[in-house]
Structure 1
Amino acid sequence: MSERMMDALVKTGPVKGLTLTQVPVPTPGNGEVLIKIHKTAICGTDVHIYNWDPWSQANLNPPLVTGHEYVGEIAECGPNATKYKVGQRVTGEGHIICGTCRNCREGNGQWCPTAKGVGVNRDGAFAEYLCIPESNVVPVDEDLDEDLVSFFDAFGNATHTALMWDLVGEDVLITGAGPIGIMAVAICKYAGARNVVITDVNDFRLDLAKKLGADACVNVAKEKPEDYFEALKIKEGFDVGLEMSGSAPGLNQLLSLMRNGGKVSLLGLQGPNTQINWDHVILKGLTLQGIYGRKIFATWNKMIAMVQGGLDLHPVITHHFHYTEFEKGFEAMISGNSGKVVLDWTTKK
């Protein structure tokens, strides 16, 4: 019998770009399911992979099917995979954990030291079919829009970062108005923050953040967050900081603007030579928390509940393309004049 083939976006080697080509449809093994992909979204990580930057060179081993943000339906269940039915709508947690290390056994799978990333360390979702362990599957209720679910992975990063701290009545500073930072604006407002201020140098994305509910959108090439303190009644600095930019100047500005005793989530990956003024941390008594991925599966429960409770993330979606037009999607992401870019896999051209 001939092998079944499918379309996929593949990192074929150590070069820039991706290739749309045919690869074998994966066969689900013991405890695994095969998912027919409906829609995918392009993530910042995918842009790193597309550009073949130093991070990608250190973490990928081509050839590899990329992509990790998706929604689809169960197409096949492997041996001993009995929790889900063929045809059921699903997405999935992108980190495949060992389940036996100390962190996994204590409910902190996001810190599993041997976690494997879908679309990074194993074949991913930019394809007609994806194979993952049944334990990673997240069922999708019928009232959830597939466009939104396609980027729940990234929404989870924003949720984990923002909800690390009590936000009720607090003043929040977000550095970095990428799609995750923009989503964090909406989460913070939904969770009860008094003011949410976001900084960047990209006016397009700052305008998107305004649509998601930001109280002040600050282009730091032209103005300062402090310029808004009086209007927002911020007296001692920000209570909560969310560092999403991966920018050393952004991180240092955030630390300088925190009030004494403030709480800071660090999601953006900083360069190896990043320096900070430690007086801001020590003398202010700041709490810094590194954030990686999502809490498995507490973050998923929170994000689904927020969307079903009225949190609207549709404004963050700026582009739709058929998967054969993926290069246009990556061009939009790389330009910076985009929010989330969704690729449709439901039809062939």
Structure 2
Amino acid sequence: MEEKRMQGILKAKPEIGAEYRTDLPIPAVGERDILVRVKAAAICGTDQHIYKWTQYAQDRLTLPMVFGHEFAGDVVLTGEKVTEVKAGDRVAGETHIPCNHCYMCETDNRHICENMKIIGVHAPGAFADYISFPVDCAYKISDEIDYQTASMLEPMGVGVHGVDKGDVRGKDVVIYGCGPIGLMAVGAARVFGAETITAIDVFDNKLEAAGKMGADDLLNSKTEDAAAKVIERTGHGADVVIDYTGNAFAIKSGFDMLRKGGRFVMVGLPNGETALDLSESVIYKEATVIGVTGREMYKTWEQCEKVLKDPGFHMEAAVGGVFALSDYEKAFQKIFEGVPGKMILIP
């Protein structure tokens, strides 16, 4: 490689904001690592925590560090013990770095590794020209998938994983939360064969995007009683509720609208403890409650590719804007203003 330095977004100081730099060193490549030329990177909720320097970020990051973990690009170099990919391959990045030797990794559950590390949090990230990361986290993408779409496979996988665990085929399904992941979950639920999809959020513009993704019913839980509306429509409640918010009110509302014998999938992360009447919400209902994190490696990724090929899935409705890497401030501002969809950065 002729290049010696690269551009990138650096979290340099323990304060709100970040720095755009053009003098960052190109990362080294370990024996089981690959170096990827980033073609597109999407901004995640975790990146917002890092930008705002919340307690989550303070507890996990060692500064200075390039952040960002939703990305796609081309392999340019491989470590000496890498055989899975080669220079020129197009890949997307799995966020979770598995240890490959704990019980969960050895039982094909690497996505919940007991020693999990996260790209862009515990290891340098993708808001840069190049990223070096373990080959275990590289997913080869097909030629039909463009880089911007591929950069969204990681968050899309969270949505698809929740829908998969919801067992939604032929069911009356509620998607609570219409951020980018929830929007992609709405589209995935349609592809997975849900009979009816109700999307719930507190922002009308996000609900409008959910309608474009295929939701049948749109409810604003800020202005109407969503649980009462779902029960009124169904007569008994929803078969499946999938929460992508982690909001305590949404979780309670979701259990209120769940029918007896229904299934509740918890994907969104609460900020703290959440009070719930387990007798009424779970035990007396004989509800099935499932927690979901990340993506199964690599079952979920393969499911995402199949979803993308469905003509009824409209990924463009989940894109909020595309920006040059140097315009990262504008991209973050759009998110903070509540513009729906993913913001994508192009190095």
Moved more, 272-281 or 119-128: 272-281
Residue 229 of structure 1: how far off its partner (Å): 5.2
SS in 2 for 1:29: coil
Q: Which 5+ residue runs of structure 2 have no aligned equivalent? A: none
Q: What's 1:13 paired with?
A: 13
Q: What's 1:282 paired with?
A: 283
Residue 211 of structure 1: how far off its partner (Å): 0.6
Moved more, 178-187 or 304-313: 304-313
- Does 2:85 correspond to 1:91? no
Deviations 1:295-322 (A, max 9, x none): 1111011111221233331111121110
Q: What's 2:166 paired with?
A: 165
Q: What's 1:136 paired with?
A: 137
SS in 2 for 1:143: coil
Q: Which 5+ residue runs of structure 1 have no aligned equivalent? A: none
SS in 1 for 2:115: coil
TM-score, normalised to structure 2's length?
A: 0.95
Q: What's 1:333 paired with?
A: 335
- Does 2:42 correspond to 1:29? no
1:197, 1:216 within 8 Å by CA — same for their partners in 2? yes
Q: What amino acid sits opposite 1:15 in the alignment?
A: E
Residue 338 of structure 1: how far off its partner (Å): 2.6
2:212, 2:314 within 8 Å by CA — same for their partners in 1? no
- Does 2:268 correspond to 1:268? yes
Q: What amino acid sits opposite 1:118 in the alignment?
A: I
Residue 288 of structure 1: how far off its partner (Å): 1.2
Q: What amino acid sits opposite 1:158 in the alignment?
A: G
Whole-angstrom distance in 2 between the partners of 1:33 and 1:326: 25
Q: What amino acid sits opposite 1:198 in the alignment?
A: A
Task: Work out which of the residue numbers 326, 331, 340 in structure 2 matches 1:324.
Answer: 326
1:319, 1:338 within 8 Å by CA — same for their partners in 2? no
SS in 1 for 2:57: helix
SS in 2 for 1:163: helix
Residue 227 of structure 1: how far off its partner (Å): 2.7
Whole-angstrom distance in 2 between the partners of 1:301 and 1:44: 24
Q: What's 1:293 paired with?
A: 294
SS in 2 for 1:164: helix
Residue 163 of structure 1: how far off its partner (Å): 0.6
1:175, 1:242 within 8 Å by CA — same for their partners in 2? yes
Whole-angstrom distance in 2 between the partners of 1:242 and 1:113: 25
Q: What's 1:64 paired with?
A: 65
Whole-angstrom distance in 2 between the partners of 1:155 and 1:165: 15
Q: What's 2:307 paired with?
A: 306
Q: What's 1:236 paired with?
A: 236
Deviations 1:63-94 (A, max 9, x none): 11100011100111111213322122111211
Residue 228 of structure 1: how far off its partner (Å): 5.3
SS in 1 for 2:58: helix
Whole-angstrom distance in 2 between the partners of 1:128 and 1:39: 9
Deviations 1:174-222 (A, max 9, x none): 2111111111111111111111111111111111111101111111111
Q: What do you get for the CA RMSD once the two structures are aligned?
A: 1.6
2:323, 2:346 within 8 Å by CA — same for their partners in 1? yes
- Does 2:204 correspond to 1:218? no
Relative distance call for 1:24 and 1:166 in structure 2 (3 A) is same
Q: What's 2:229 paired with?
A: 227
Give percent identity, aligned residues only: 32
- Does 2:271 correspond to 1:255? no
SS in 2 for 1:125: coil
Q: What amino acid sits opposite 1:256 in the alignment?
A: D
Q: What's 2:180 paired with?
A: 179
Whole-angstrom distance in 2 between the partners of 1:213 and 1:308: 15
Whole-angstrom distance in 2 between the partners of 1:23 and 1:298: 35
1:237, 1:257 within 8 Å by CA — same for their partners in 2? yes
Whole-angstrom distance in 2 between the partners of 1:275 and 1:296: 32
2:323, 2:345 within 8 Å by CA — same for their partners in 1? yes
Q: What amino acid sits opposite 1:267 in the alignment?
A: V
